[in-house]
Amino acid sequence: MMMALAVAKHAGVRIGLGSDLIGPAQDRRGKELSLRAALETPMEALVAATQTNAEILGLSGQVGVITPGAQADLVLWNGNPLEDPELFSEPTNAVLVIQAGQIVKDLR
């Protein structure tokens, strides 16, 4: 998988992050992010999940960024996922979640 990712990136393919997980499997989306962070860096995985996905969907400036007027989603982790990307794998590590400016989870 690492080689396929490197070849695609070298060819200029923009690679976002996402899956077809639905229903109760939604809590496994973080594992996908931690796996991607192991193939690249944690920051590259976060950029793929936010900025790159927005670009692919034609929503640059509206989502995937934290800026006035954008639909910012923010997650506060119980630790630093840039240092420990396995934090993404366990949903309870997300202690604060803000979607489109509204708090939807607060475990602080």
User: Would you say residue 31 has pLDDT above 90?
Assistant: no
Q: Span 27-44, mean pLDDT? A: 87
Q: What is the pLDDT of residue 73?
A: 83
Residue 85: exposure state from Cβ atoms within 10 A (0-12, 13-18, ≥19): buried
Q: What is the pLDDT of residue 77?
A: 93
Q: How many separate domains does the chain show?
A: 1
> pLDDT, tens digit, for every residue of 43-83?
999 999 999 999 999 999 898 888 888 887 889 999 999 99
Q: What is the pLDDT of residue 100?
A: 78
Contact 89, 30 (CB under 8 A): yes
Phi, psi torsion values for 94, nearest 5 degrees = -85, 105
Q: Span 10-34, mean pLDDT? A: 82
Residue 85: domain span: 2-17+24-106
pTM of the model: 0.82
Q: What is the pLDDT of residue 4?
A: 86
**CA–CA separation, 20 vs 22, rounded Å?**
6
CB atoms within 10 A of CB 82: 14
